[in-house]
Amino acid sequence: MPLPPLNIFEKMRGLYTPVVNIRRHVLSEVGRMVVEEKPPHYIEEIPYRVIPKSTPTYRESVFRERAIVRERIRLAFGMELKEYGAHGPIHDDEEAECMKPVKILTRPIVNVIKIGCERCPEVSYWVTNLCRGCIAHPCVSVCPKNAVSIVNDRSVIDQNLCIRCGRCAQVCPYNAISYRERPCSAACGVKAISSDSEGYAQINYDRCVSCGLCVVSCPFGAIAEKSEIAQIISALKSSQHVYAEIAPAFVNQFGPLVSPAKLVVSLKKMGFRDVIEVAAGADRVVLQEARELLELIQVKNGEKNEGEKGKSPNIIRKFVGTSCCTAWTMAAERNFPELKKLNISESFAPMVEAAKLIKATDPEAIVVFIGPCIAKKEECFQPEVAEVVNFVMTFEELAAMFQSFLIDPTKIEPQKDLHDASTLGRGFPVAGGVAAAVIKQAQKISSVPLDIPYAAVDTLKDCMSLLKKLEGNKVVPAPLLVEGMACPFGCVGGPGTLAPINRARRAAQKYAKEADHQYPSDILL
């Protein structure tokens, strides 16, 4: 039996491809430059360290390979891309600012590196060499536009006549007709990617929610996000009080040999004062959203007219929408603003709640969120978030940073484990985990058994289609709780992860079960 096909989100994940290798090499070289306090002109050496050969390995020319790396270096330092076609050095006297421990990140977070884009064909059907030119050739008969003909014993599609209905592919007995969509736009659930006048991918930033899934879906590595790795390392080398808050998807991201306890020591070796679990913030979110849910149930049952917490008046609230996924809430806000305003919880994300805990113990704390998520970089543009979260980095950037500091977390002597959060809080990174946590906590708080209809979806595409149905009251039974996660399978499938999604999912679930307490209320009430 053939293996089942993988969807666009699973095809290249958890694999160490040459694209991944270049991405990490650039990040670790940039990090190393800051660790070793190299002079600014050293930045011009990095492309030659990443692409050292005189003959090309991946593209038609070594000069193009280095030109792409130069753009990646700018993004890794948090700088803007250079205008396409502009000549000049990598830096424009900006690198001095980039190597200071201050936030310089500006929008957009996710960028198309034009010189790396191969201008893949947009949606199209192509006849592959599996075509046997069969006598029946049902592809010709079924085409409503006469776009398919047999030429030299082989089926041929006239792309000018084809309307991309896919009927020919459906009827071919040899599966010889293949559907192709450029991987970047196939991965984008909010239809933010189109082509510019020359056919290069271009992002519509009015639609883009910085989920970053196009970054890990482009097989040419032509889309990349800005990084804060240089500023974070600079902060670690200064006398500032830098703390790490690590998202619950971290388990097993650095390989099965790196236990949570080893990871904590590795982070401290780089200069972090302490490390806390973002799941501790998730516990607080669970409690708030469980209370909102109970209040909504009371309103629906006619036991209450107006809520003390959550939206007011509650009578027009249809459901409690979870708020932890930035890309989901942004997509809801942009596309279904009224639905979002009335229904999605205003609780802060776990990242923010955990950062508040750190700031409460050390007002001088510089908080670095480390997680699977690129959209969290976007979330930090919100003033109330920026007040408590100083920098954001992904697990991939952390792995590169370990290389920059020449730290091998597998060889670290572990010390104490993390004990900050409950099972339910640690369950957030797996799709369905947030809804399950809120329902279980609500049931524990309530004195009577509750039957709570809910909906949970992952991927932005499915989030958008669920929101549309919710707007039209087309979900039966109408859910009282709705969880939306932009990444496939939840945060464990986030673009900043390193581990294969399935392995990360199993590891996160096992780690959640090992928590000292099951419910957030066991810790917080």
Question: By the criterion CB under 6 A, which residues form the site for ligand SF4?
Answer: 110, 112, 117-120, 182-184, 187-188, 190, 192-193, 201, 203, 208-214, 218, 220, 222-223
**Cβ-based nearer residue to ligand SF4, 188 or 523:** 188
Which secondary structure element, helix H or strand E, spans residue 484, and what is its range? strand 481-485
φ, ψ (nearest 5 deg) of residue 224: -145, 155
Question: In angstroms, what is the minimal distance from the CB of 19 to ligand SF4?
Answer: 10
The least CB distance from residue 464 to ligand SF4, in Å, is 11
State the Cα angle at 228 between 76 and 402, rounded to 5°: 80
Which run of H or E residues covers position 49?
Answer: helix 46-50
Helix axes 260-270, 395-404, angle to 10 degrees: 60
Structure tokens at 156: 């041929």
Nearer to ligand SF4, 378 or 420 (CB): 378
**Least spacing, CB of residue 85 vs ligand SF4, in Å:** 17
Which CB, 118 or 471, lies closer to ligand SF4?
Answer: 118
Long-range contacts of 122-125 (CB under 8 A, 24+ apart): 122/181, 122/182, 122/185, 122/195, 123/164, 123/179, 123/180, 123/181, 124/159, 124/162, 124/164, 124/179, 124/180, 124/181, 125/157, 125/162, 125/164, 125/166, 125/168, 125/169, 125/177, 125/178, 125/179, 125/180
- Token pair belonging to 77: 């330092």
Contact 109/141 with Cβ under 8 angstroms?
A: no
Q: Which residues pair with 368 in a beta bridge?
A: 244, 391
Task: Give the residue with the Cβ less far from ligand SF4, 137 or 182.
Answer: 182
Report the residue number, 319 or 336, with the smaller CB distance to ligand SF4: 336
Q: Is the separation of the CB atoms in 325 and 492 below 8 Å?
A: no
34 vs 113, beta carbon nearer ligand SF4:
113
Min dist. Cβ of residue 113 to ligand SF4 (A): 8
Between 167 and 226, name the residue whose CB sits nearer to ligand SF4. 226
Torsion, CA 32, CA 38, CA 41, CA 43, rounded to 10 = 0
Q: C-beta of 414: minimal distance to ligand SF4 in Å?
A: 36
Give min distance, CB of 331 to ligand SF4, in A.
Answer: 8
Minimum gap (Å) between residue 111 Cβ and ligand SF4: 10
CB of 120 to ligand SF4, least distance (A): 3
CA-to-CA dists, residue 232 to 23, 43, 69, angstroms: 18, 18, 21
Runs of H (alpha helix) within 301-349: 326-335, 337-343
- Any idea what DSSP says for residue 123? S
> Nearer Cβ to ligand SF4, position 74 or 291?
74
What's the one-letter identity of residue 350?
A: P
Nearer to ligand SF4, 281 or 493 (CB): 493
Which of 184/320 has CB closer to ligand SF4?
A: 184
Closest distance between ligand SF4 and the C-beta of residue 184, in Å?
Answer: 3
Residue 449 preceded by cis peptide, ω within 30: no
Min dist. Cβ of residue 330 to ligand SF4 (A)? 9
Report which of 75, 72, 69, 71 is spatially closest to residue 98, judged by C-alpha positions: 75
